[in-house]
């Protein structure tokens, strides 16, 4: 089974993507693609995991001890691993995924996106990266990346990522580019 890693905010502020999460989850489940995510039960993280679980999808969660102790971790995941640091968590997310889906998010999501783009630009990872750029949310970061590439600050263009402006484009891009 292939596994998609979702990087997204724990809460939804400003851009309503809850219905898009249900749509993409149902599509991935229909393709027998499992979910790897940050292991939370609140906000968008909780929404994506619960949508997978209620539709008999497979869910792996990787979370930090600090969140687990506060009760932010669901108990009904297929697999849950609790680690001490954010770095360990991020490494597990990257290691246990076949491709990445980036929704709008905050600093944690940006940190994860930059890590996987860096690995791609260095030729260390060829895992596909699908960026959901609803309402141009990621456009400033993508423009910065283009500038950094053109100026030579990024060693090579990470050619394994796809920018999608809506959920339909995202589904089409995954369907076209991910072998199941």
Q: What is the mean pLDDT of residues 5-30?
A: 83
**How confident is the model at residue 131, as a pLDDT?**
96
In a domain, residue 95? The reply is: yes
pTM for this model (two decimals): 0.93
pLDDT tens for each residue of 108-122: 899 999 999 999 988
Would you tell me the crossing angle of helices 107-121 and 139-150 to the nearest 10 degrees? 30
User: Which has the closest alpha carbon to 105: 8, 15, 170, 24?
Assistant: 8
Calpha distance 113→19 (Å, rounded): 22
Radius of gyration of the chain (CA): 16
Mean pLDDT of all residues belonging to the chain: 91
User: Distance between CA 22 and CA 106 in Å, rounded?
Assistant: 20
Number of domains forming the structure of the chain:
1
Percent of the chain scoring above 90 in pLDDT: 69
Residue 143 lies in a domain: no
Average pLDDT over residues 29-55: 93
Residue 81 lies in a domain: yes
What was the pLDDT predicted at 82? Answer: 96
Above 80 in pLDDT, residue 12?
A: no
Distance from the first to the final alpha carbon of the chain: 8
Q: Are 24 and 170 in contact (CB under 8 A)?
A: yes
Please check whether residue 19 is in contact with residue 61, taking contact to mean a CB–CB distance below 8 angstroms. no
Tens digits of residue pLDDT in 131-141: 999 999 999 99
Residue 6 lies in a domain: yes
Q: How many CB atoms lie under 10 A from the CB of residue 143?
A: 10
- Report if residue 21 sits inside a domain: yes
**Do residues 17 and 44 make contact, with C-beta atoms less than 8 angstroms apart?**
yes
The answer on pLDDT for 10 being more than 70 is no
- The yes-or-no verdict on residue 92 having pLDDT over 90 is yes
User: 155 pLDDT exceeds 70?
Assistant: yes
Strands ordered across the beta sheet of 128-132: 79-83, 59-64, 33-37, 2-7, 99-102, 128-132, 161-164
Segment (H or E) for 60: strand 59-64
Residues linked to residue 2 through DSSP beta bridges, in sequence order: 33
CATH number at residue 72: 3.40.50.450
Question: What pLDDT was estimated at residue 121?
Answer: 87
- Tell me: pLDDT of 16 over 80: no
Percent of the chain with pLDDT over 70: 97
The domain in which residue 22 lies consists of 2-108+129-136+161-175
């Amino acid at each position: 089974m292939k596994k998609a890693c979702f990087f997204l905010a724990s809460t939804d502020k400003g851009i309503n993507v809850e219905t898009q999460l249900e749509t993409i989850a149902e599509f991935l489940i229909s393709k027998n693609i499992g979910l790897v995510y940050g292991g939370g039960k609140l906000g968008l993280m909780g929404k994506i995991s619960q949508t997978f679980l209620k539709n008999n999808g497979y869910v792996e969660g990787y979370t930090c001890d600090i969140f687990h102790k506060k009760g932010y971790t669901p108990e009904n995941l297929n697999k849950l691993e609790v680690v001490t640091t954010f770095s360990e968590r991020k490494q597990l997310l990257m290691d246990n995924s076949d491709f990445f889906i980036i929704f709008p998010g905050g600093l944690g999501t940006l940190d994860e996106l930059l890590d996987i783009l860096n690995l791609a630009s260095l030729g260390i990872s060829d895992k596909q990266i699908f960026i959901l750029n609803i309402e141009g949310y990621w456009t400033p970061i993508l423009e910065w990346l283009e500038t950094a590439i053109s100026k030579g600050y990024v060693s090579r263009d990470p050619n394994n990522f796809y920018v999608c402006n809506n959920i339909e484009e995202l589904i089409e891009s995954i369907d076209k580019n991910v072998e199941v």
